[in-house]
Amino acid sequence: MFAAVFLVPSGCIWQLCSRRKVFLAGVRGFLLGLVCLLAELGQPALGLSDPCQEWNRLQALVRDGGLSAGEARQKVVELHWELLETFGKREHAHRAAFPLEGGSWRDLGGKAGSGFVAKGYDFYQGNRHGGHPAHDIFFPDRDRDSLHDRTGRPVGVLAFLPGVVVGLNVGWEPNSQIRGGNYVWVFSPSMELYCYYAHLKDVFVQVGEWVEAGQRLGTVGRTGKNAHPSRSPTHLHFMCLSFDQGGMSPYDPYKELVQLGGR
């Protein structure tokens, strides 16, 4: 009886201690969580940047001649490693897709890939670059309304490889000198390629968004200084640049396009 009476309060004390421990552990956990949260929220204030947004700013500066080639190249190298670090280990379906919805390799400009001309191209010359290290991919649009003549529907621009959207331009106006018009840049960590899709009508993606191969980035349009006039048949301008230690060298995806658009 005595023992029982005695045991009850001692049990209570143990329980109290235990509760206190749990309570303290809870407080510690809460504080730790709060510190992590504040660290996360404080990132922009601490100057830790978002490489996608930075790359988007960089491509616009290069395009408009707002940076020297040397400065731009240094920034390209810096951001490339940041992009690789952030997105390089991301799980994704290892595949590729033909970049024009319903298109085939027969819709490529030139003969046997001759539309691709690397000579004279320099990424760092921005909007003034020479060459044409790209494939133009056409579809029937005789009345130039950016709708497929047979289906009457817009034609989707599809991601060639999985990757992250690192640049875009929207809101192009016919008096703008920007040659690409409305466009999207996607960085593919697995291939270390920067792919560029130009002359779009609508753009469906945002900077920082991850896209899988075959995902719709937008629709083909007639935006861009030379793509807008009616003499130009409606097409997608598709270019891939290889990082190449900052060289941003033209990469010819002709073989892949033939395989993927094999109809």
Binding mask 116-155 for Zn ion (x = CB under 5 A): ------------------x-x-------------------
Burial of 60 from C-beta contacts in 10 A (0-12 / 13-18 / 19+): middle
Are 167 and 216 spatial neighbours (Cβ–Cβ below 8 Å)? no
* Interatomic CA distance for residues 194 and 242, integer angstroms: 6
| Residue with smallest beta-carbon separation from Zn ion | 237
Cα dihedral 197, 108, 202, 231 in deg (nearest 10) = 110
Nearer to Zn ion, 60 or 117 (CB): 117
Nearer to Zn ion, 73 or 237 (CB): 237
Cβ at position 119, least distance to Zn ion in Å: 15
Q: How many residues bind Zn ion (CB under 5 A)?
A: 3
Nearer to Zn ion, 67 or 217 (CB): 217
Q: Which residues contact 28 (CB under 8 A, 6 or more apart)?
A: none
As given in the structure block, the two tokens for residue 34 are: 């709060």
The closest alpha carbon to 92, from 189, 185, 216, belongs to 189
Nearer to Zn ion, 101 or 136 (CB): 136
* Interatomic CA distance for residues 94 and 223, integer angstroms: 31
Cβ at position 33, least distance to Zn ion in Å: 51
Asked if 73 touches Zn ion (CB under 5 A), the answer is: no
Binding mask 153-192 for Zn ion (x = CB under 5 A): ----------------------------------------
Nearer to Zn ion, 212 or 252 (CB): 252
* Interatomic CA distance for residues 13 and 146, integer angstroms: 79
Cβ at position 150, least distance to Zn ion in Å: 23
Nearer to Zn ion, 86 or 104 (CB): 104
Cβ at position 88, least distance to Zn ion in Å: 30
Neighbours of 236 (CB within 10 A): 28
* Binding span for Zn ion by CB under 5 A among 1-9, 57-65, 229-237, 248-256: 229-237
Are 223 and 181 spatial neighbours (Cβ–Cβ below 8 Å)? yes
Neighbours of 46 (CB within 10 A): 8
Residues in 232-251 that interact with Zn ion by CB under 5 A = 237
Binding site for Zn ion (CB under 5 A): 134, 136, 237
